[in-house]
Chains A and B, each alone.
Chain A
Amino acid sequence: MQRIPIEMAKAGMILAKDVTDEAGRVLCGPETELTTELIEKFKAMGVKFVSVKGHPIDFPWERPYEEEIKLLEARFAKVADDPRLISLKKIIADYLKEKNA
């Protein structure tokens, strides 16, 4: 799953999550295939981001999963003896793993 700005959404992409308008009302559910008309409608209703299936766009700040984990370890290097923070690190690592799957 990837979250992308509505401007980058293209017909044929499949929604991975609900799309909601500014008031929080659900406009469209997961598994819907985007069409040009649907994307225009979302834009008109103030939708800024959508979550789509797969990983259609490579953003410049994204790193391969293995590298992300290495960087995560490096950031925690000075607090490696604090179990509370190691637990936070694990939660982030699990999340990254799930996001990558």
Chain B
Amino acid sequence: MNETKREIKKRLRNLQSLPTLPAIVGKLTQLIGDERATAHQVAALIEKDQVLTGKVLKMVNSAFYGFPRRISTVSNAIVLLGFNVIRTLVLTASIFESMQATDLSLWEHSLGTAAAAGLLADKLELPNPEEVTTAGLLHDLGKVVLRTEFPKLYKEVATKVKEEKTYFRAAEQEILGLDHGEIGRILANQWNLPERLVEPIAYHHEVEKARKFKKEAAIVHFADIMTRAMGYGSGGDPWVPALNDKAWKLLRLKEKDLQEIIPIFDERLLELRFFTLEMQNELKK
């Protein structure tokens, strides 16, 4: 193992207490882990924090989940989206907030990928489309952490992308010895995120490595491609990545499917632009 890789892994293991992690997460994890816990109890805990409640409701009502009706209470959100999604949103609310402030284009890329993942999951009739959407939202978690925790290395990677016109991931592998999928996997495991979120985060570029949630990983892979293809936001470089053969075989998307999805996706992207503007105005307050 090269020295940089070893160093990154070591630092990640000690990152348990990310400065941005809200204190409520520990309690929430405990409560959700308790099989007897009800949606009402979990909602009551989240609702104690007004700011957090606002953030979670804002996310669940945004265009990437695509619910036609407004979700106005946390209990409702839990019933509709499930414990996993709500816990993940609580866990990541502050991370995404810092992402909006530091890297708006990556935030947009994440929102776009979430929306595309949701549309694909619906089309392919997956049982939990909202979880796949959330996996899309988090798929580049590794890049967020790379930027906030290893700014010098991040800069090196970004410079290489610019100078050598290479993919961000290729530059990561060369400079760090590992990529954002691996970084995301380590972190997501540390936070005890469910496997159906961890696998797409870890393997959205190497779908063949997914064990239990291959289709979810394949969807996030293609959602990433769709978002880059539409030119919405930026995942660190401006190019559509190579298509993973395994993902393509799993998805079995036909031309007709894509012809249906693209216009709807474009509408969602427009709505997301205004969502992002709104969120940014609130940050400035």
Contacts and interface: CB of A to CB of B under 8 A. Distances in A.
Given A3-B267, A87-B255, A75 B240 contact: yes
Interface of A: 3, 5, 20, 22-24, 46, 48-49, 59, 61, 71-72, 74-79, 82, 84-85, 87-89, 91-92, 94-95, 99
B231 interface: yes
B271 interface: yes
A3 B239 CA distance: 27
B278 to A, nearest CB: 10
A54 B242 CA distance: 36
B206 interface: no
A72 B243 contact: no
B38 to A, nearest CB: 27
Interface stretch (B49-57, B125-133, B184-192, B258-266): B258-266
Given A3-B267, A88-B225, A79 B70 contact: no
Contact of A85 (B167, B231, B243, B270): B243
B263 A95 contact: yes
Contacts of A3: 267, 270
Nearest to B257: A91
Given A61-B273, A79-B242, 13 more contacts: A20-B68, A22-B70, A49-B267, A72-B229, A75-B239, A76-B229, A78-B239, A88-B226, A91-B255, A91-B258, A91-B259, A94-B259, A95-B262
B231 A88 contact: no
B262 A78 contact: no
A82 B242 contact: yes
B242 A78 contact: yes
* Pairs of residues from A and B, 9 with the lowest C-beta to C-beta distance, nearest first: A78-B239, A22-B69, A91-B258, A95-B262, A24-B68, A79-B240, A76-B240, A3-B270, A75-B240
B231 A22 contact: no
Contacts of B262: 91-92, 95
A71 B240 CA distance: 12
Interface string B223-257: 00110111100000011111100001000000100
Contacts of A92: 229-230, 262
B150 interface: no
Nearest to A60: B273
Contacts of B271: 48-49
A33 to B, nearest CB: 22
A46 B70 contact: yes
A72 B239 contact: no
B240 A85 contact: yes
Interface string B265-281: 01100110110000000
A68 B243 CA distance: 22
A72 B231 contact: yes
A87 B258 CA distance: 10
Given A48-B271, A91-B262, A75 B243 contact: no
B240 A78 contact: yes
Contacts of A84: 243, 248
